[in-house]
Amino acid sequence: MDVESTPKDSKPKAVKSETRLTFGVEIEYLLATVHPVHPSPDPRDPREYDGKKLATVDDVNLDILEKLKANDVPASMLWTSATRALPSDEELEANWLLKNDATVLGLVRIHPYYREFGMEMSSPPYYYDEASREVIRLVLKTLRKNYLVRVNSTTGLHVHVGNEYDGFTFHVLRNLVAILYTYERQIRLILPAERVQGLQQKFCRPFPWGSFGQANPDITRLDFLNHILSSENYEQLIIDFTTGSKRTIEFRLHQGTLDPDAILHFIHLCIKLTEKACLTKNQDALIERLRNDVEKPIGLGDQECSTVDMLMWLGCPAQAYYYGIAMVATDKQKFKERIEEDARIARDHAKMAYEVWMEARRKEKALGFDVGDGGGGGGGGGGGNGKEGRSRSRSRSRSRESSSGSPVAPGVDLSSFAFS
């Protein structure tokens, strides 16, 4: 592994990275073993399944750790035993971290002899270059070659993007939120329908779930974009903004996968989305582009905006082909129905959010709170899939007047993303 792919400090580097941005990835998965009293359901499968050797989560992670180190991939593990020492900060900055994940569940038993563990592995921060991409390929190859692993609807893929150790300015975050909102519909099309329409849709809620969207369910997309662009501070821009020390943007809308191509293409997309927000030289041109595209229907016509259009604008031709080929291969009628169903769900979310917001206002009014001064805060229940495991302070700024004259807290809930 090229050790220079891991950032050490915020000083200029001699490393030939494709961007100054750094990234990390969290991979959730299920790993199966077979109890010693049972035979293997598939004796021809050479992968490790011994339930005696891999009796506990710690046994599993220790075995994975040893195999990663044998491939020159530094790794540490988070032991389930409270008596074990936690990895040091130095280890977390340089090593892959292996741990269990209690929210990853084998909802359906694939065979009565299998016992499955919910697992997670996360990378250290890397510069985005071929060396780091090769490490990810090697880690996934090691995992898939040696163990009975799979993903399901409880697993996710999370990508953190950072600016070395310098963090992001408010101006950059506002640009990014505006870009993500404008092309939210196109981005959601790269995900399976069940990720955004079925039981998993709580991981990928539409933007208007935030307080401003709650109070204005019928607002136009252009007005919502203009509201984002008018934000003057973090509290106005994002509900539950986390003022932690990591200073990263976390993209957590992708379904779980162990496919290296799928993971690397999504990492590239996350990098390019952030890069566009960071490196825009002409702010007026960016805003004009977003305002032109935000209300365009999705499609391939001159007056439409497709996922491929968005990816080419971001400078992602390989991703335009990777994601676009699947869309082209889809039956046109089914693809049209997918777009219409996504739109219907977004409208339903807006109506439901408005009802939640109104009920909260009624309760606050009944309790004697002045709902015209900060009473519209909250809403949205950020946290994505609830796997963050840490509390997030709720910022409650003073209310504004909505277009309907109702006071609302202006934040946008980015439940598919996190800023920490």
Q: What is the pLDDT of residue 177?
A: 92
The Cα–Cα gap between 401 and 403 comes to 7
Same structural domain, 148 and 176: no
Max CA distance (Å), the chain: 69
Is residue 307's pLDDT more than 90? yes
Lowest mean pLDDT among 47-51, 111-115, 185-189, 365-369: 365-369
Is residue 28's pLDDT more than 80? yes
Is residue 216's pLDDT more than 60? yes
The Cα–Cα gap between 260 and 348 comes to 35
Alpha-carbon Rg for the chain in angstroms? 23
Residue with the larger pLDDT of the pair 369 and 228: 228
pLDDT-derived band at 4, boundaries 50, 70, 90: very low
Helix/strand/coil (H, E, C) string of 64-89? HHHHHHHCCCCEEECCCCCCCCCCCH
The answer to whether position 162 is within a domain reads no
Q: What is the pLDDT of residue 274?
A: 96
Lowest mean pLDDT among 102-116, 282-296, 322-336, 395-409: 395-409
How confident is the model over 43-87, as pLDDT tens digits?
Answer: 999 999 999 999 999 999 999 999 999 999 999 999 998 778 888
Same structural domain, 118 and 179: no
Q: Do 321 and 264 contact (CB within 8 A), yes or no? A: no
Most confident stretch, 143-152, 320-329, 340-349: 143-152
Dihedral of CA 136/139/141/147: which sign?
Answer: negative
Same structural domain, 119 and 234: no
Q: Is the entire prediction scored with pTM above 0.75?
A: yes
Residues contacting 410, CB < 8 A, separation 6+: 211, 212, 227, 231, 236, 237, 397, 399, 400
Q: Which amino acid is at 89?
A: D
Same structural domain, 149 and 293: no
Q: Which amino acid is at 253?
A: L
Same structural domain, 39 and 182: no
Q: Which amino acid is at 394?
A: R
Final residue in a domain of this structure, among 120, 154, 188: 154
Q: How many CB atoms lie within 10 A of CB 74?
A: 16
User: 417 has which bridge partners?
Assistant: 251
Query: How many separate domains does the chain show?
Result: 2
User: 418 has which bridge partners?
Assistant: 250
Task: Look over the chain and give the mean of its residue pLDDT values, rounded to a whole number.
Answer: 80
Is residue 157's pLDDT more than 60? yes
Same structural domain, 135 and 189: no
Is residue 100's pLDDT more than 80? yes
Structural domain for 42, as ranges: 3-154
Residues contacting 178, CB < 8 A, separation 6+: 225, 228, 229, 287, 290
Q: What is the pLDDT of residue 404?
A: 36
Residues contacting 156, CB < 8 A, separation 6+: 26, 28, 203, 252, 254, 255, 256, 384, 385, 387
Q: Do 176 and 161 contact (CB within 8 A), yes or no? A: no
Same structural domain, 217 and 258: yes
Is residue 176's pLDDT more than 60? yes
Residue with the larger pLDDT of the pair 26 and 413: 26
Same structural domain, 222 and 312: yes
Q: Which amino acid is at 209?
A: W
Same structural domain, 122 and 260: no
Same structural domain, 186 and 333: yes
The answer to whether position 200 is within a domain reads yes
Q: What is the pLDDT of residue 383?
A: 36
Q: What is the pLDDT of residue 25?
A: 98
User: Could you tell me the two tokens for 303?
Assistant: 């007056």
Most confident stretch, 13-17, 147-151, 185-189: 147-151
How confident is the model over 366-408, as pLDDT tens digits?
Answer: 877 655 443 333 333 333 344 433 333 333 332 333 333 333 3
Same structural domain, 84 and 213: no
Same structural domain, 359 and 226: yes
CB-based burial of residue 36 (10 Å sphere; 0-12 exposed, 13-18 middle, 19+ buried)?
exposed
Q: What is the pLDDT of residue 289?
A: 97
Distances (CA, A) of 323 to 103, 180, 313, 317, 333: 29, 17, 15, 10, 18
